[in-house]
Every structure is written in C-alpha cells, then in structure tokens.
A and B are shown apart, each in its own frame.
Chain A
Amino acid sequence: MFSEEIATIRRLGVRHLLLQGLNFAMVLSTALMMWKGLSIVTNTESPIVVVLSESMEPAIQRGDLLFLSMPRTAPLALGDITVYKIPGAAIPIVHRVIETHDEKDSNEQWILTKGDNNHADDVGLYNGMRYLRRSHIVGKVQGYVPYVGYVTILMNDYPKLKYALLAVLGGGILLQRE
C-alpha cells in the first residue's frame, strides 16, 4: 500500500523529506516563539486570556478576550482590573482591585480584589490569605475584544473540535509547498 509513496520518497531523497519537514516545523516554531516573545514583552506568562465567569459583568462578559501586561515597577492602583492566580487553585481569576497597601521602600504591595458582580470581596477565594501579594498577580487588563473568546470556550467544552481544527490546519500546511 505504501510502496508508491516509499518509491517517491526514495526517488526524491532524504534532503527533500527534511526540507518538507522543516517547512512544517518552522510554522510551529514561529508560532511558539511569537507567543513566548509576546509574553516576555508584556512581562506576563499568559498575555491573552479568555473570561469564563460572569463575576465582572457588566464591564467584562463571559467569552471576552483580555490583553494583559504586568507593569515592571509601577504599583497597581485602585480600580485596575487584574488577573491573579492563587497557589493551589486551578484557574486564574479576573477581578478589580479595591484596596492596595504599598510597602514604603520596595515594590511590594498588599492587594484586595472583588468582582464587580459579586456581593462580597475575594477573601474567601484567597485560600487562607487576607491579601494578595504582587507575585500572585499574573497581569493587569489593558484592553479586551468581546465575544472572540467563545471559540476557546467551545473547544474546551467539546475537545473533538480542538482535534478537528488541529487536523485541518496541520493537513493544510503539510500539503502546501512554498
């Protein structure tokens, strides 16, 4: 069954195979490096996130795509919308800062957050802590695009869609030749 393909490969040579493989690998690695580069530039490990809950309505809806960046020296201020991750909790949370207490001689801060749509502040979510530190903050929301995040939500709820999309994109790249 594969004799035809093997014959073609033998005729074209190993170099040809390596070159075609390189095309595919370059696309993947470029995407990977662009993502890593973006996270370095914005100083946050996930520069683009999707909102899953309605705890920040009406400012931020479920399915919005958020663009994050972490200020390197500037302190976080009252009213900033931040994404933070509690150690031991699975998913990061996006809520607004309602209290900050700044240390005098260093960059460090003690931060309290609350979702706009929640009744109580987030102390119950802090897993025993009373305030957040800067190290828990993943980033500050700089901008958002509405609705686009629904693609990610659908792919998480229906994993088969994710594999189907990967197969289509991968096949398209392999069959193309520039």
Chain B
Amino acid sequence: MAKKSAASKAKAAQAATPSTLPDAPSPAPSTSALVESSEEATPPPPVVLPPKEKVPKINTSSLAELKNTCDDVVKEFFARPSAFNRSHVHEDVRLALGWLSVAIALGTAYYGYVVPFEESKTWVTIGVGLYALLNSILTLYSTYYEKQIIFEGKRRTFASRISTERLTISSLASSSPNTTSLTPAFPLSLISRGPALPSPPPAGTSYPAYTLTLDYSHSSNNGKSIIHQALVTKTRCFGEFFDVEGKLAKSKLEAELQKLLAEVVGQ
C-alpha cells in the first residue's frame, strides 16, 4: 500500500523517489503507473515556425533608397481597404504626360529615320519642341503642385451624417540639416541649395532623418462644416527602423504610423 501511494506521488511529482527505484521489485500496477508518469514526462513536441519571410536588404547609404522604402510602407499602410481610399491623380498625370512624350519621341525618331533629312526637318523640329514642352510641364507639375506629397486619400463615413475625411501625407528625407532629398544632384548643388525646408527639424534629431507631415481634415456637408482638422509633423531617424544590413523592421514603422494616425485623427 505504501508503494501504491508512493507510485501515485511519483505520478504527481514526476520524480521517482529512492524507495521505488529498482532495488525493490515493484508490483505490476505501480510499474505501469510509473511507466505512465514517465511517458507524461517526455519533452513537448518541437514548435514548427512558419518559413522566414525574405526581407529585402537596401543600401542604407543611399538617401533615395531609404526614403523610397519608407514611402512604400507608408502608402501601403494608409491605403489598406479599412483605412483610406487612395487618390492616384498625381501618378496618373505623371504617367499620362510621360508616356505621351515617349510616344511623341518614338514617332519623331521613326519619321526622321524614314524621311530624308531635308524634308523631315519641319516635323522633327515640331516633335522635339513638343517633347521639351511636355517634359517641362511634367517637371513644373511635380515641383510646384505635387511637391513632397506621397499619399492622398479620402474616407467617407455614413454615420449620423455623411462626412468625408481627407488625409495628405508628405515625406522628406534629410541626410544633414542642410541636405535633403530635395537638394539637387552634384553639378547643380554647387549653384542652388534647393527649396528650403518647410520647418526646421527639432533639436536633437539624429541623421539621416525621415520627416512625415500628415494633413488631416474631417468635414461634412460638402466641406462646409469642419469637424476636425490637424497637421502633424514628426521626424524620426532612419536608424530606428533599419538594421545594419539594410533590412526594414516593418512592424516598428507601422506602429509609429498607427500612433501618428491616432494623433492626427484626434483620438
């Protein structure tokens, strides 16, 4: 009887006491009890994790790549079906003007190829002029109208009244207080410093830095009554989101974006 209680204790504690070790021939029921407890003591089956997703590595020395990677995450985050409906106007204008000018260039080149030079001169001049004009319009549009906007979205809520939320996000990457992603490339940078920053970055910012500006407005009644309006600018160092190898910690960046969204919506 003592052996049976010892066996049940062993079952509970999963440790064989010295008295139940081989020197005492144990009767059949307690052996099976011991066997059952030892089966329960086997290690749990190994956890099978899903295969690791390949995170692309980018060149962390290139400001353009850093900015583009973060911009892609921002656009994806805010364009989710549950968030805002993205407006593709800027992209469509760029595509339309760009591809039209490419078509004109190809047409002009082909015409100049088949027709002998002297006769082709007038139309080739017109083609080259049109190409230059379209490209200038495109450059002016992106410089003065699109500026630094990377995302424009709208959301309609049909609660007690129909209201529209509009969100415009602009981003700017800077490698030093005076050098940003808007600074022109080397030969031109000797002449001009590029457009001035909209607002000086906060003191204590580590570089390279990523500045996001969210412009939010919640209005109803066709824009006549404004429910809430906010403009939030936040600067973070790229080093908070990228590791040494250049992999982006997407969840970290999305957590920051979630905080920004909550701040600008006014919750």
Contacts and interface: CB of A to CB of B under 8 A. Distances in A.
Binding site of A, secondary structure by majority: helix, strand, loop or mixed? helix
Contacts of B196: none
B95 A18 contact: yes
A29 B124 contact: no
Contacts of A177: 64-65, 68
Interface string A43-75: 011000000000000000000000000000000
Chain B interface, >50% SS class? helix
A48 to B, nearest CB: 15
B34 to A, nearest CB: 53
Interface in B76-135: 88, 91-92, 94-95, 98-99, 101-102, 105-106, 108-109, 112, 117-118, 121, 124-125, 127-128, 131-132, 135
Contacts of B101: 26, 29
Contacts of B94: 19, 22
A28 B106 CA distance: 10
B91 A22 contact: no
Interface residues of A, number: 20
Contacts of A44: 117
B36 to A, nearest CB: 49
Interface stretch (A31-39, A95-103, A106-114, A156-164): A31-39
Interface residues of B, number: 27
Nearest to B99: A22
A178 interface: yes
Given A18-B95, A40-B124, 17 more contacts: A15-B88, A18-B99, A19-B91, A19-B94, A22-B99, A26-B101, A29-B105, A32-B105, A32-B109, A33-B108, A33-B109, A33-B127, A36-B124, A37-B132, A40-B125, A177-B68, A178-B64
